[in-house]
Amino acid sequence: MLDTLHPVQTPEGVDLNLRAAGPVPRALAWGVDALLRAALLAAAGLGLLAFGAAGMGVLFIVTFLVWWFYPVLFEVLGRGATPGKRVMGLEVVHEDGTPVGWPASLLRNLLRVVDFLPFLYVAGLCTMLIDQSFRRLGDLAAGTLVVYAERVHAASAEVPSVVPLPPPIPLTLDEQRALIAFAERAPFLSPARVAELAAIAEPLSENGEDPVERLMRMAAWLVGRTG
């Protein structure tokens, strides 16, 4: 893997990459949604408690509905994003990149109880750190992903136009593919991530030239650029 990308092939045969969201932005989105739910319940409580025991009973029902179905309604009717996810630029989709539906959204949200165990989403966090697409238990069961909304880049993105340079050593077919993939995806990654990946290929960039630029030039040579 060159980054946190989840590859998908559409029925038309087009290769796409979904950029999976990690624990930190998802936790921040959850925090925003928690504040909004608390505000909704506080407003409902102010109006219902005036009706005594009957109002308290209705408030319990409202609390249950808001707590369990708030994310489901927004995910299905709001193009995969609760307000918190929208603030963080995230959305929920099926593993094949299609919009999330009612069954999957219900399942992934009902299983938050399991993800919460033994406390504070420890089980869900551990699963996310193990899974390469940061899926918690609910996501694995429902076949869903949380991705960045501007998530899809065609896998056929072009290698940047640079002066081609043949590699100094023979490369295997897999190494050639990895080098070309690096050059294609680099424009979509952060500078720090690009530098980190370039450092992995240190044997190809030992002459003092900028490692990223040198790898780009080699990728251009591999795809047949002539200058």
Q: What is the pLDDT of residue 153?
A: 45
Contact 143, 95 (CB under 8 A): yes
- CA angle 214-216-219, nearest 5°? 110
Among 148, 176, 204, which residue terminates a domain?
148
pTM over 0.85: no
For residues 94 and 9, membership in a common domain is answered with yes
Q: Are residues 143 and 166 in the same domain?
A: no
CA atoms of 107 and 142, how far apart (whole Å): 6
Which pair of structure tokens corresponds to residue 105? 């959204």
- Identify whether residues 19 and 98 lie together within a single domain: yes
Domain that holds residue 48: 5-148
Cβ atoms of 153 and 17 within 8 Å: the answer is yes
The answer to whether residues 142 and 215 belong to one domain is no
Helix, strand, or coil here: 6? strand
**Grouped pLDDT means (10 residues each) for the chain, 227 residues:** 68 71 95 96 91 91 93 94 95 93 96 92 94 94 92 59 88 88 82 85 74 90 81
The answer to whether position 82 is within a domain reads: yes
31 plus 61 within the same structural domain:
yes
Q: Are residues 53 and 137 in the same domain?
A: yes
Q: Is residue 28 part of a domain?
A: yes
Last residue of a domain, one of 93, 128, 148: 148
Residue with tokens 């919460």: 116
Question: Residues 14, 118: one domain?
Answer: yes
Q: Same domain for 21 and 128?
A: yes
Q: How many domains does the chain have?
A: 2
Predicted local confidence at residue 10, as pLDDT: 64
Q: What is the pLDDT of residue 78?
A: 92
Q: Residue 206 and residue 78: Cα distance in Å, rounded? A: 50
Q: Are residues 67 and 164 in the same domain?
A: no
| Domain end point (choices 148, 177, 204) | 148
